[in-house]
Chain A
Amino acid sequence: MSFFKSMQISSAALGAQRVRMNVLSSNLANAQTTRTAEGGPYRRKDVIFSATPIGGPFEDFIDDSMNSQLSEPRVVGIHQDTKEPRSVFDPTHPDADKNGNVKMPNVQVMTEMVNMIAATRAYEANATALNEAKNMAIKSLEIGR
């Protein structure tokens, strides 16, 4: 059903933005983390979105050709930022090297905050789109009343 299709797309976008928000929270929370399981400071992470066609191939086949043009965003991976860690001079830190420099995560708090605002706005936009699709469906139920 086409109404449910647009809602499904918006729902996928909501899910994708939520994953992005989780990753951003992780970045922000680990902005001062100097130890990780793989060694070294925490490295900033970001999500990779991919537009995937909605429905299976069979569904595309039986549906009209318009629907096969539609795609929904999916998180296909989380990549690490390759930027070098920040070097901070702090000889009293247990993780300092012999010159007294500590490698801090390559997370920039400001950038993460801006990304978070963007994620929130994108979530809002998709929630609004979902609501509007629902309102359209409700309006069509009022036809002939």
Chain B
Amino acid sequence: MSRIETSFLKDSLSKIADSKELMQNLKSNDESSSKSSFIEHLKESIGDVNRMQVDADKLSVDVATGKSGNLHEAMLAMSQAQLGFNFVVQVRNKALEAYNEVMRMQV
């Protein structure tokens, strides 16, 4: 499930990245050195969130198969993964909002 959600996020991110490139091309003066840093950060944190989900998955499978009895640690990992995912979703929402705002702008 986490794979699908993150790929969906990556799709919308690449859309934002495309629009960012468009904006860059529109602008004549390009200080291109640190232009993609936000996207890079976002991709990184999506990787982190994905890792959290994989960890939570592993812990819950361990509990379900009886390999470990650390019920609270599995629940904690799941809560953390959920929080991380919600955070990334909020960031995506904000970014998309900004993108839409730019697209609605009168030229």
Contacts and interface: CB of A to CB of B under 8 A. Distances in A.
Is chain B found bound to chain A in the same assembly? yes
A4 B70 CA distance: 18
Interface in A95-137: 127, 130, 134, 137
A11 B71 CA distance: 10
A66 interface: no
A88 B79 CA distance: 52
Contact of A15 (B70, B86, B94): B70
B6 interface: no
A3 B84 CA distance: 11
Contacts of A79: none
Contact of B83 (A14, A18, A138): A138
B87 A141 contact: yes
A75 interface: no
Interface residues of A, number: 15
B80 interface: yes
Nearest to B72: A14
B14 interface: no
Contact of A7 (B70, B79, B86, B94): B79
Contact of A134 (B72, B73, B83, B94): B83
Contacts of B86: 138, 141
A11 B73 contact: yes
B2 interface: no
Interface of B: 70, 72-73, 76, 79-80, 83, 86-87, 90, 94
Given A7-B79, A127-B72, A130-B76, 4 more contacts: A8-B76, A15-B70, A18-B72, A141-B86
Q: What 4 A-B pairs come out closest when comparing CB atoms? A: A14-B72, A11-B76, A137-B83, A141-B86
27 contacts: A3-B83, A4-B80, A7-B76, A7-B79, A7-B80, A8-B76, A11-B72, A11-B73, A11-B76, A14-B72, A15-B70, A15-B72, A15-B73, A18-B72, A127-B72, A130-B76, A130-B79, A134-B79, A134-B83, A137-B83, A138-B83, A138-B86, A141-B83, A141-B86, A141-B87, A141-B90, A144-B94
